[in-house]
Structure 1
Amino acid sequence: MNHLRKHLLLAAGLALMPAMAYAHPGHGTSGLVSGLSHPLFGLDHLLAMVAVGLCAAKLGGVARWLLPVLFVGVMVLGGGLAMAGMHLPGVELGIVASVIVLGVLLMFARSGATIPAAVLVSGFALFHGYAHGAEMPAAAGAAAYAFGFAVATAGLHGLGLVGGQWLQARHWERAVSVLGALISMAGVSMALSM
């Protein structure tokens, strides 16, 4: 249990770092490297994407593959809209809302809530994808960049999914709810700093 406390303290520390949410450092000039790094270095993206994997694990069944596949697919679509020069209002607000709502979903979702979760995940994925596409470096190739952020996102979903299943296998479902609360609090902190 002491090991679990250390992880929860680490998550709480991350929740107190909202400035990282908008910094998105580490973007290189290579399309692939830039695409891979964008979801990993923005706390807002990282928390939302891990939360999708955790939600998929908590809901179980078809949600284990449906939520990550929907998120990545709609996210790539959103990235394409940004790269094509289309305007999507409220992107930063949608991203921050995704962190808050996905954290709440982790606290309260029960099996059988796959369809509502899928709708929420798809809507939020559009905002995350649009942000990725809008922040594509000028020198990056669109296809390599999109592939990079899709792979990084799938990896973060996988991390959340495996972590959620590991916690459930040890009957630590309460830890998933605590993580949801911490993720949601981080989102509120980001919203207050906007």
Structure 2
Amino acid sequence: MRFITFAATLLALGASAAQAHTGHPIDSAGSGALHPLTGLDHLLAMLGVGIWAAHVGATGDRRAIWLVPASFVVVMALGAVVGLSGATLPLAEAGITGSVVLIGLLIAATPRLPVWAPMAVVAVFAVCHGFAHGQEMPPSSSALAYGAGFVATTIALHVAGILARRLCGPLGARVVGSAMALAGIALAAT
């Protein structure tokens, strides 16, 4: 039953957002908030960070539950600044897809790691996610509002991942991690 609840939660989070009244543009914060939800790669990676943080926290250092997502958010925001600057990051898309695969595999394998290791792994991938968010900001958006939007959604997805891990337990998390890695491989193939 817990796994069904977990799967339903993931499906609900993965549903695309729709504008009920076309012709009404989404504001800067709304545009930023939707960006992590409209790409399956971003959505899976951010949920995965939360699941992995809770998984590491449950099997080792409890600080991982907040340190791992916090390192992702901070470095993602810095990556967005780089993306907004017009700089290039040649392998950003590969890093985003790679994050889905590697985080999924790490959830499935459940290696015992010191808390700094998952923090470092997610920070590397956060640069790529943040860079993409910054590069894809609509020209008419306020950078601050847009950034606040995607940061808020990222935090919400991390919290959803943490709660999902608590719902599905260690075995369910390993199954989800495996599925996430396979989804990342499928995304890389497209």
TM-score bracket for this pair, using the shorter chain length: 0.7 to 0.9
- After TM superposition, the score normalised by the length of structure 2 is 0.86
Letter in 2 for 1:191: A
Q: What is the aligned partner in structure 2 of residue 99 from structure 1? A: 100
CA distance in 1, matches of 2:149, 2:175: 31
CA distance in 2, matches of 1:24, 1:103: 25
CA distance in 2, matches of 1:5, 1:54: 16
Q: Which runs of 4+ in 1 moved over 4 A?
A: 5-11, 23-26
Given that 2:50 and 2:157 are in contact with CA atoms closer than 8 Å, whether structure 1 keeps it comes out as yes
CA distance in 2, matches of 1:108, 1:51: 13
Aligned-pair distance for 1:79?
Answer: 0.5
CA distance in 2, matches of 1:161, 1:153: 12
Aligned-pair distance for 1:180?
Answer: 0.2
Q: Are the structure 2 counterparts of residues 173 and 100 from structure 1 closer, same or farther at C-alpha, using a change threshold of 3 Å? A: same
CA distance in 2, matches of 1:6, 1:74: 31
Write out aligned runs for 1:33-44 (5 A): 33-44=30-41
- After TM superposition, the score normalised by the length of structure 1 is 0.84
Aligned-pair distance for 1:112?
Answer: 3.5
Q: Are the structure 2 counterparts of residues 5 and 155 from structure 1 closer, same or farther at C-alpha, using a change threshold of 3 Å? A: closer
Q: What is the aligned partner in structure 2 of residue 53 from structure 1? A: 50
Aligned-pair distance for 1:50?
Answer: 0.4
Any idea what SS the aligned residue of 1:130 has? helix
Alignment gaps of 5+ in structure 2: 20-24
Alignment gaps of 5+ in structure 1: none
Q: What is the aligned partner in structure 2 of residue 157 from structure 1? A: 158
CA distance in 2, matches of 1:7, 1:132: 27
- Superposed CA deviations along residues 73-107 of structure 1, whole A, max 9, x for unmatched, are 00010100011111111111110000000100101
Q: What is the aligned partner in structure 1 of residue 121 from structure 2? A: 120
Q: What is the aligned partner in structure 2 of residue 80 from structure 1? A: 81
CA RMSD of aligned residues (A): 2.5
CA distance in 1, matches of 2:99, 2:86: 23
Q: Percent identity?
A: 36
Given that 1:29 and 1:137 are in contact with CA atoms closer than 8 Å, whether structure 2 keeps it comes out as no
Given that 2:5 and 2:167 are in contact with CA atoms closer than 8 Å, whether structure 1 keeps it comes out as no
Q: How many aligned residue pairs are there?
A: 180
